[in-house]
Amino acid sequence: MFQPGQMMDRPLLISGIIEHAAAQFGSVDVVSRETHGPLFRYTYADCAVRSRQLANALKALGLGPGSAVGSIAWNNHRHLEAYFAVSGSGMVMHTCNPRLQAQQLVYIINHADDEVVLFDTTFAPLVKGIAAHCPKVKAWVCLSDGDNTVAVDGVANVLCYEDLIAAHDDRFDWPDFDERTGAALCYTSGTTGHPKGVLYSHRAIVLNALSGCLPGVMSLSPKDTVLPVVPMFHINAWCIPYGAPIAGARLVLPGPRLDGASLHELMEAERVTVTAGVPIIWLGLLQHVEQHGLRFSTMRRTTVGGSAMPAALIAKFAEKYGVEVRHGWGMTETTAVATIGCLTPENELLPPAEQHAIVARQGKSLFGVEIKVVDENGATLPRDGTSQGELLVRGQWIASGYYKGEASPLVDGWFPTGDIATIEPGGIMQIRDRTKDVIKTGGEWISSIDLENAAMGHPDVAMAAVIGVKHPKWEERPLLFIVRRPGQSLGKDEILAFLSERVAKWWVPDDVVFVESLPVGGTGKVQKAELRKQYDGVFS
Amino acid sequence: MFQPGQMMDRPLLISGIIEHAAAQFGSVDVVSRETHGPLFRYTYADCAVRSRQLANALKALGLGPGSAVGSIAWNNHRHLEAYFAVSGSGMVMHTCNPRLQAQQLVYIINHADDEVVLFDTTFAPLVKGIAAHCPKVKAWVCLSDGDNTVAVDGVANVLCYEDLIAAHDDRFDWPDFDERTGAALCYTSGTTGHPKGVLYSHRAIVLNALSGCLPGVMSLSPKDTVLPVVPMFHINAWCIPYGAPIAGARLVLPGPRLDGASLHELMEAERVTVTAGVPIIWLGLLQHVEQHGLRFSTMRRTTVGGSAMPAALIAKFAEKYGVEVRHGWGMTETTAVATIGCLTPENELLPPAEQHAIVARQGKSLFGVEIKVVDENGATLPRDGTSQGELLVRGQWIASGYYKGEASPLVDGWFPTGDIATIEPGGIMQIRDRTKDVIKTGGEWISSIDLENAAMGHPDVAMAAVIGVKHPKWEERPLLFIVRRPGQSLGKDEILAFLSERVAKWWVPDDVVFVESLPVGGTGKVQKAELRKQYDGVFS
C-alpha cells in the first residue's frame, strides 16, 4: 500500500506570490509606464498593499469567489495589482485582448460573465462601443487617478480606480482554497467561430511561473530586472508578472509604449537584464537600435515566442549586441512557455551560424510538460528531426478543455496543438508550420515558416509571409509576400534566385507579391487567413 | 462559488524527473566515482534504463508500493538509480547515515521496515555487525559489479547489484499515484532519544528540487555541471540528485573521496560550475587549494549549509577564488533548502566585508516557505534584525510529523526548528544559535555561533567551538575550544584579546581550551553535547 508522506499540505496560490514578494523582496522596485506618459515607481510591498485594497474594493462591489473581472489594459502596475487581487480572492481574472473586434469583445465579456471590467484610458472608445451590450457588467473601472480618468459617453457606471481602492483597508485575509481553482481566463483569438476561453488554475500558473524563472528558461533572480513586452492581456504575459515576484526580480512594465525607441530608452534607463516578447516587437526594436547606432548596456537575455524568430534576427542579437535569444513555444492553451531552447556549453563551441540554427528551433519541453508528434492516424512519429506531424502536448499547465465548452479537445489525454513539428533525438522541437498553413503540393508538404525564414535572410527584406494557393495541377503552390526594407528595391527574380540557393527547387514560390505592409493580428502574427481570402484563385 | 480550473491534472512524481531527463537531456553526462576508485561515466538516458531495470528487480524480489528500501551508500550512480527506481515505484527510499552508531542503524532499519538494504563495499563491516539484528531485511544488495562485490561474513542474503538488475527488462510502467505519497525517508540524528524519521512526499521533493534550480538558489541549467558533496544519505543531498536532471545540468558524484585533493581534482577534471556542501568540507578543500597554490578554473558558485559558514571562508572564496557563496539553511524536517541568500546588484556595490557579512546570514525563505521568530510565549517577534527567538517554519516541503510518530511536533501549524534566529525587515534570516547551544548568562543570551565565527576570523584558527558551562554566579559562561592551524602557536591571551576587539566585553569567554581536534558528527556539525558532558562543572 502506498504510504502517505508526512509533509504540510498547503495549496499553491497566487496570493502567496505577492505576499512572498512583500515579505522577502518588499523594497524591490516595480516600474510602470502610466498610460498618460510618466513613469510610476513603487515596490512589491506597495503592490501588495494596493492589491489587498483592491481585493476589499471588489468584495464591497458585491463580487465573491468565482466572480469574473475583465481587463482591457496595458502592462502596468494597476493591471498587476488586479492579477493578485482578483485571483487571490478566488475570483477569475479575465484578460481581454483589446485588438479583438468589438463584437468579439462583447462576446467574451458576456461569455465570461464579467461583473467588473478594468480598462486603460486608451480603450475608452472601445468601452463606449461595447458597454451597452454587456449588461452583466456592474462597473467599468478606469485604471487611472482622478485627474486622468476619462468619462465615457453614454456609460454611467464608470469608476476611477484610485478612488475605488483609496477607501479600503490594506489588510485582507486571502482565502485558502483548492489550488486547482480557476485563477485566470484568456480567450483564444480563433480565426473561425467564437473565441474559446482557457481557465488557468492557480496550480498551473504557479508551477509555470516557477519554471519560467529557471536559469535554462527565462532566468529570473534578485540580480535581474525583467521587462515583459509580451502583453498581460495575452496568456498571462508568459507568467512573468507572477515569476518576477517569486524570484525577487525587478519588474519593468512598459505600458502602451511598445515602439523601438520607447522600449530601448526604458531598457537602458532601468538597466533591464531580461526581456520577453514576440519577434515583431524585436524587429522594431532592432531597427531603431541599428538606425541610431545604439547598444544594449545591460540586456543579456531575451525570450522570444508567439511566432518563429528568424535566424537573421537571432544572429544580430547574438553577434552584434551580445544578447542571448531563448526561443520558446507556447499557446493560449499552455498557460505560458511549454518548450524553450537553451544553448549548452558544447553548443557554444559551434560556429555562430550553427548556434543560431539551434536557437531558431523551439527547444525542449520544460519539466512537467511532455510533447510528441503524431501522424494523421494519431501514431507517434519517431524523434528523428525529420518526421513531421501534429504536435501534441500534455502536462501540468496544459488545458483540458474550454470554458463552458462541451466537447473535450483532448486526444487520449493529449492536447492537439494544430502545429506541425519535428522532434530531434535530443528532444529539441521545431515548429514547421500550422496545420492550416502548411502547403500541400504534389503529395508533399512545404513549410511556410521555413520559406519565410529563408526569405527573411535576405538583407533587403523587412517582413515575409508565405501562403499556399490552390493550383490546378499541384493541389497547392506557395505564394510569397515581401515587405521591402525602407529604400530597397529588391525585385522578384532576385528574391527567387536567393531562395533557390537555400531551399529545395520545388519549394521555390510560384510568385512574389511586394506589399507595403502585412496584416498582423492581436498576437503579433501575420493573419494568413486574410491573405488567403484575398489571393484565392490566383494560380487557377 | 469557486470555479474549478480547466487544466490537466497530473501528479508531480519523481519518476517524471528521470523520464524528463532521459527524453530531453538523454545524452547529458552523469559522472560517478566508484567506491573502488575509478570514475564511471554514463548519461541520463542510461540512468533511466538502469532505474527501470532496478524497479523491475525490486518488484521481482516481492516489494511493492509502500515497501521501504534502505541505503547505506555514498554519492554514486547506483545510489542515484535507487532514488528513481524506489520512489518511482511508489516505494520509500530510506537513506541511512553510515556515521550513525550501529545500534541506531539497527533501530532505523527496523523502524522503517526496510525489506532490502543497498550498501557500498565501504560499509560491509557495518552490515556484518547489524544484519543479524535486522530480520525484516530480505536482501542486502552490494552496490557493485561481480568483481568488486564483497562477501559479508555470516550474512547469507547478500546480492550483487549488477547481477540483480542485469536480468531485468529496461521497460517499466511507472505507476501513477497521489503526489502526496511518501517517496523518501530520512532520520534525524538526534543527540537524545531514538532517531526520528521524516517521510518526504513526491510533491515536496519535486517542488523543492525545482526551486533549488532557480538562479537565486543553486542555479542549475543545461550550462552547468553540479557536484553535490552534501551526501545522498543526508536530507536527499539537498535534492540536487532530483534538481540536476530537472534542469539538464551535468551531475558529478564524488563517491567516497571527500578530501580536498580528490574534490579539487574532480572539480577541475569535470569542469564543475556549481557545488554544495557543509562548511567543514570547504575548509578542507580550501586548505588543500591554498597549500598547493591551486585555482578553481570553472567553479562559480557554491551553496553552503548545515552549519554556519564563517565570514572568513566566504571572503576567501569570493576574493581569492572568485567563487560566489550562497549560504542556505534547512534541516532534515525541511526536505532540503528552506532559506538562501543571494546578493543583489545593490549589495554588490558594497565594500567586500559588508557583502561577506550579508552572505554569512542564512538568507530569505524560498517561495513556498514562510518563516517567523517567536518569543518563549509563542508571540511573533518583529522583523527588526535584532529580536532573537525560536525560528518557526511552514510551507510546501516542511514536515508535519515524524514517521510512526504519535504526537505532532507542530505549533499552530508551524514547525519549531530549535534554532534561535533573527529576521531583518528585508526578510534576511540569521541563525544565532541552537536553542540548546545558546549561552544564558546574567539574564542575557550569548550566541555561541557568533563567538565561533569571531574566533574563526583569527588567521591561526582552524576550528572553533563555544559551549556554555554552568557558572555559580552568572548561570552559564562561555568556554572556547580552539584547533590551531598546523604549525601555529596561538595562545590564550592572544585569542581573547582578539575577541575583545570584536564582541561585547561580557561575551568574551572565561577560558580557552586548545585541542587537536573537535568531535564532528555525521552531518558535519561539532557535537557540543559531548563537549558539554566532558567539561561540565569546570567553572563551578
B136/B242 same-domain check = yes
Task: Tell me if residue B445 is catalytic.
Answer: yes
Q: What is the CATH number of the domain that holds A420?
A: 2.30.38.10
Q: What are the CA-CA distances from residue A121 to residues A97, A505, B408 (Å)?
A: 15, 52, 55
Grid cell, residue B100, equals 550513525
Task: Tell me if residue B344 is catalytic.
Answer: no
Strands A415-423 and A429-434: antiparallel
Q: Looking at the complex, does the CB of residue B400 fall below 8 Å from at least one CB of chain A? A: yes
Among A221, A238, A257, where does a domain finish? A257
A363/A430 same-domain check = yes
Q: Looking at the complex, does the CB of residue A204 fall below 8 Å from at least one CB of chain B? A: yes
Q: Is residue A116 helix, strand or coil?
A: strand
Residue A299 lies inside a defined structural domain of this protein? no
DSSP-derived secondary structure letter, A397: T
Residue A320 lies inside a defined structural domain of this protein? no
Interface contact flag, B395 A65, Cβ < 8 Å: no
A411/A477 same-domain check = no
Q: Is residue B183 helix, strand or coil?
A: strand
Task: For residue A214, give the nearest of B65, B214, B425 by CB distance.
Answer: B214
Interface contact flag, B248 A364, Cβ < 8 Å: yes
* Share above pLDDT 90 across residues of chain A, in percent, rounded to a whole number: 81
Distance between B24 CA and the closest CA of chain A, angstroms = 5
Q: What is the pLDDT of residue B506?
A: 85
What is the Cα–Cα distance from A255 to A235, expressed in whole angstroms? Answer: 17
Q: Looking at the complex, does the CB of residue B5 fall below 8 Å from at least one CB of chain A? A: yes
What is the Cα–Cα distance from B133 to A385, expressed in whole angstroms? Answer: 56
For testing contact with chain B, the best of A3, A181, A218 (most B CBs within 10 A): A3
Query: Which residues of chain B are within 8 Å of residue A395 when distances are taken between CB atoms?
Result: 8, 10
Residue A316 lies inside a defined structural domain of this protein? no
Interface contact flag, B7 A335, Cβ < 8 Å: yes
Nearest partner of A185 among B289, B7, B315, judged by Cα: B7
Strands B369-374 and B389-395: antiparallel
* Share above pLDDT 70 across residues of chain B, in percent, rounded to a whole number: 99
Beta strands in A263-368 (DSSP E): 274-277, 301-304, 324-329, 339-340, 364-365
B216/B101 same-domain check = yes
Q: Torsions phi, psi of A286, nearest 5?
A: -65, -40
Compute the average pLDDT of residues B419-441.
Answer: 91
Interface contact flag, B2 A177, Cβ < 8 Å: yes
Nearest partner of B522 among B121, B191, B71, judged by Cα: B191
Task: For residue B395, give the nearest of A10, A182, A204 by CB distance.
Answer: A10
Residue A326 lies inside a defined structural domain of this protein? no
Q: What is the CATH number of the domain that holds A250?
A: 3.40.50.12780
Q: How far is CA B337 from the centre of its chain?
A: 9
**Tell me: the pLDDT tens digits for B8-42?**
999 999 999 999 999 999 999 999 999 999 999 99
pTM, two decimal places: 0.91
Interface contact flag, A202 B403, Cβ < 8 Å: no
Q: Is residue B262 within 8 Å of residue B229, measured between CB atoms?
A: no
What ipTM was predicted for this assembly?
Answer: 0.90
Residue A324 lies inside a defined structural domain of this protein? no
Grid cell, residue B190, equals 538526534
Q: Looking at the complex, does the CB of residue B256 fall below 8 Å from at least one CB of chain A? A: no
Query: Which residues of chain B are within 8 Å of residue A215 when distances are taken between CB atoms?
Result: 213-215, 219-221, 223-224, 247
What is the Cα–Cα distance from B330 to A52, expressed in whole angstroms? Answer: 31
Strands A250-253 and B139-142: unpaired
Interface contact flag, A203 B7, Cβ < 8 Å: yes
Q: What is the pLDDT of residue A191?
A: 57
B207/B186 same-domain check = yes
Question: Does A434 or A289 have the greater pLDDT score?
Answer: A289
How many CB pairs (< 8 A) connect A and B?
241
Residue B224 lies inside a defined structural domain of this protein? yes
pLDDT band at B4 (very low <50, low <70, confident <90, very high): very high
B31/B140 same-domain check = yes
Which entry of B95, B121, B149, B188 is annotated as an active-site residue? B188
Residue B30 CB contacts under 8 Å (≥ 6 apart), including other chains: B41, B42, B43, B44, B46, B47, B77, B80, B250, B251, B252, B253
Q: Is residue A210 within 8 Å of residue B217, measured between CB atoms?
A: no
What is the Cα–Cα distance from A340 to A330, expressed in whole angstroms? Answer: 9
Nearest partner of B54 among B75, B79, B30, B73, judged by Cα: B79
Q: What is the pLDDT of residue B190?
A: 62
Q: Looking at the complex, does the CB of residue B112 fall below 8 Å from at least one CB of chain A? A: no
Distance between A162 CA and the closest CA of chain B, angstroms = 27
| Mean of all residue pLDDT scores within chain A | 94
B214/B233 same-domain check = yes
**Tell me: the pLDDT tens digits for B324-363?**
999 999 999 999 999 999 999 999 999 999 999 999 999 9
Compare all CA atoms of chain B with the CA of A397 and give the residue at the minimum distance: B7
Residue B205 lies inside a defined structural domain of this protein? yes
Could you list the residue range(s) of the whole structural domain that residue A490 is in? 439-535
Interface contact flag, B403 A6, Cβ < 8 Å: yes
Q: How far is CA A436 from the centre of its chain?
A: 20
Question: Does B444 or B192 have the greater pLDDT score?
Answer: B444
DSSP-derived secondary structure letter, B348: G
pLDDT at B320 over 90: yes
Q: Report the sign of the C-alpha dihedral through residues A325, A327, A330, A336, in that order.
A: negative
Question: A512 - beta bridge partners?
Answer: A480
Element (H, E) at A475: strand A475-484
Compute the average pLDDT of residues B275-292.
Answer: 92
Buried b / exposed e along A474-499 (16+ C-beta atoms within 10 A): bebbbbbbbebeeeeebeeeebbebb
Task: For residue A199, give the nearest of B3, B66, B220 by CB distance.
Answer: B3
Compare all CA atoms of chain A with the CA of B345 and give the residue at the minimum distance: A223
pLDDT at B381 over 80: yes
Grid cell, residue B239, equals 535534492
Q: Looking at the complex, does the CB of residue B183 fall below 8 Å from at least one CB of chain A? A: yes
**Tell me: the pLDDT tens digits for A391-406?**
999 999 999 999 998 8
Q: Is residue A459 helix, strand or coil?
A: coil
Q: What is the CATH number of the domain that holds B467?
A: 3.30.300.30
B354/B427 same-domain check = yes
Nearest partner of A499 among A531, A465, A452, A445, judged by Cα: A452
Give the residue numbers of A marked as catalytic: 188, 333, 440, 445
What is the Cα–Cα distance from B149 to B34, expressed in whole angstroms? Answer: 12
B423/B447 same-domain check = no
A425/A452 same-domain check = no
Q: What is the pLDDT of residue B328?
A: 95
For testing contact with chain B, the best of A6, A9, A270 (most B CBs within 10 A): A6
What is the Cα–Cα distance from B357 to B348, expressed in whole angstroms? Answer: 12
Count: domains in chain B: 3
Angle between helices B44-60 and B14-24 (to 10 degrees): 140
Q: Is residue B369 helix, strand or coil?
A: strand
* Helix, strand, coil share of chain A (percent; to 5): 30, 25, 40
For testing contact with chain A, the best of B3, B89, B205 (most A CBs within 10 A): B3
Q: What is the pLDDT of residue B523?
A: 64
Interface contact flag, A426 B26, Cβ < 8 Å: yes
Interface of A with B in 9-48 (CB under 8 A): 9-10, 12, 16-17, 20, 23-27
Q: What is the pLDDT of residue A192?
A: 62
Task: For residue A181, give the nearest of B5, B20, B213 by CB distance.
Answer: B5
Interface contact flag, B7 A177, Cβ < 8 Å: no
Interface of B with A in 262-291 (CB under 8 A): 271
- Rg of chain A over Cα atoms, rounded to whole angstroms, equals 23
Task: For residue B222, give the nearest of A201, A211, A344 by CB distance.
Answer: A344
A56/A195 same-domain check = yes
Q: What is the pLDDT of residue B482?
A: 94
Question: B348 - beta bridge partners?
Answer: none
Compare all CA atoms of chain B with the CA of A340 and give the residue at the minimum distance: B24
Task: For residue A7, give the nearest of B1, B20, B398 by CB distance.
Answer: B398
Q: What are the residue ranges of helices labelled H in B188-258?
A: 202-212, 240-247
Residue B192 lies inside a defined structural domain of this protein? yes
**Tell me: the pLDDT tens digits for A207-233?**
999 999 999 999 999 999 999 999 999
What is the Cα–Cα distance from A371 to A391, expressed in whole angstroms? Answer: 7
pLDDT band at B540 (very low <50, low <70, confident <90, very high): confident
| Mean of all residue pLDDT scores within chain B | 94
Q: What is the pLDDT of residue B46?
A: 98
Which entry of B265, B445, B470, B530 is annotated as an active-site residue? B445
Q: Looking at the complex, does the CB of residue B7 fall below 8 Å from at least one CB of chain A? A: yes
What is the Cα–Cα distance from B436 to B439, expressed in whole angstroms? Answer: 8
**Tell me: the pLDDT tens digits for A309-352?**
888 889 999 999 999 999 999 999 999 999 999 999 999 999 99
Among B417, B434, B451, where does a domain finish? B434
Q: Cβ atoms within 10 A of the Cβ of A471, count? A: 18
Least confident of A256-270, A409-423, B498-512, B518-532: B518-532
**Tell me: the pLDDT tens digits for A151-178?**
898 898 999 999 999 989 999 999 999 9
Sheet bearing A389-395, strands edge to edge: A369-374, A389-395, A415-423, A429-434
Among B389, B409, B434, where does a domain finish? B434
Q: What is the pLDDT of residue B475?
A: 86
Task: For residue B66, give the nearest of A3, A27, A335 by CB distance.
Answer: A3
Q: Looking at the complex, does the CB of residue B231 fall below 8 Å from at least one CB of chain A? A: no
Interface contact flag, B181 A24, Cβ < 8 Å: no
Grid cell, residue B86, equals 524506489
Compute the average pLDDT of residues A236-256.
Answer: 98
Distance between B116 CA and the closest CA of chain A, angstroms = 17
Compare all CA atoms of chain B with the CA of A414 and give the residue at the minimum distance: B8
Q: Looking at the complex, does the CB of residue B154 fall below 8 Å from at least one CB of chain A? A: no
**Tell me: the pLDDT tens digits for B130-161?**
999 999 999 999 999 988 888 898 898 999 99
pLDDT at A540 over 90: no
B423/B461 same-domain check = no
Which region holds residue A427: left if phi is over 0, alpha if psi is between -120 and 50, else beta?
A: left
